[in-house]
Amino acid sequence: MGPNRRAPYGPEIAPVIIIMEHRPIMRFTVIIVTYNRSGLIERALDSIAAQTLAPAEIIVVDDASTDDTADVVARWSTRNAAPVTFIAAERNGGEGVVRNIGMKAASTPLIAFLDSDDEFRPDAMERLIAPLIADPSLVVSFADAFVMPEPGPGLPPRLVESRLARDVETSPMEGAPDGSGWHRLNDPQSTLLLVSMIPSCSAMFRRDAAEAVGWFPEYRRAGDWLFWLKLTDRGGFSCQFFDAANVYRQGDNLTSAGTDALWAQQMLHVYLGLRDGSIPLALTPANRSRLDSAIDEKVGHYRYWFSRKGWRAYWQALGQEEARATGSRLAHLLRDPKSAARALYSSLRS
């Protein structure tokens, strides 16, 4: 898919220079991917403009929106004297496709993502970039995020990934400034193998590492988790226990019951790819064993969610690539008679 590249709005933006005890100069890009978010994207852009450390460039990649997103971004850029590179995708390709367009267009060694309906906290970039400047062996620096429901009924705000403070094995980074709160994941691959815990809007990473692992997985689901997991092959991960961003849950980006079967299929597909090597990752023997156990569990999820859709959908699912990789139709029926019964019952009720 070839993007239509538009010239940046306004004058050229000057590079950001960061001097930190003779550390190398570092520049970063913020990439916003958007689809029909003309009413919300200004909030995201405002949060970039409010950063205590400005990016060298802002790139907005529009995933073939049908609204006036391009005009909104152009007006914001002019009003704030903040040049934006706007790239319009020719057709809707999903998050992974448009993020890759943005990363390939970025000219800086560091990149941060921001979804068009979310916002950074004011000091997010300054705090995330610091460990990457201090330690060249790091490839990712991340923190937490806060879920902020839009006005109206809903759950109260909460941490996106409270596991970060509860379960993750970390150690204080050697040589970190006093009071910085910089930690390092002890074993990034083991930590991230089966758990999605890095909010995409609360991380900064090295562009060359992303390129080395083949950029962002172009899946409709599970792309974030797999992207961070693949980057564990390239170096260390720094984490900090603060909220770098606010994540807003819209009505059209909530997971619904109707998507659970497709989600289970996608996750099983990725797990199988990690096991057979079609998704390259140098797994340790211990993690390969954990993955085998996880596949058995995911197969059960796959059968369960498709059985909720009725017998016809269930029978077709047992013939899909993911199911065939884990057994024949007969083997699945014998292994999980409850799901078969559930599928029949769901059909009778409909």
pLDDT digits (tens), the chain, 350 positions: 333 333 332 333 233 333 334 444 589 999 999 999 999 999 999 999 999 999 999 999 999 999 999 999 999 999 999 889 999 988 888 888 999 999 999 999 999 999 999 999 999 999 999 999 999 999 999 999 988 765 555 556 665 554 565 567 899 998 888 888 899 999 999 999 988 889 999 999 999 999 999 999 987 677 899 999 999 999 999 999 899 999 987 654 444 445 788 888 989 999 999 999 999 999 999 999 999 999 999 999 999 999 999 999 999 999 999 999 999 999 999 999 999 999 999 998 87
Specify the number of domains making up the chain: 2
pLDDT for 161 equals: 53
Asked if residue 291 and residue 230 are part of one domain, the reply reads no
Asked if residue 334 and residue 200 are part of one domain, the reply reads no
Burial of 303 (0-12, 13-18, 19+ CB in 10 A): buried
Asked if residue 310 and residue 198 are part of one domain, the reply reads no
Asked if residue 292 and residue 224 are part of one domain, the reply reads no
Asked if residue 134 and residue 263 are part of one domain, the reply reads no
Asked if residue 291 and residue 242 are part of one domain, the reply reads no
Asked if residue 291 and residue 218 are part of one domain, the reply reads no
Last residue of a domain, one of 223, 249, 275: 249
Asked if residue 150 and residue 35 are part of one domain, the reply reads yes
Domain residues for the domain of 184 are 4-249
Asked if residue 150 and residue 67 are part of one domain, the reply reads yes
Asked if residue 269 and residue 232 are part of one domain, the reply reads no
Tell me the residue ranges of DSSP E strands in the chain.
Answer: 4-5, 28-34, 57-62, 84-88, 110-115, 119-120, 138-149, 158-159, 170-172, 183-185, 203-206, 236-249
pLDDT for 31 equals: 98
Q: Residue 48 belongs to a domain with what CATH number?
A: 3.90.550.10
Asked if residue 280 and residue 204 are part of one domain, the reply reads no
Asked if residue 272 and residue 241 are part of one domain, the reply reads no
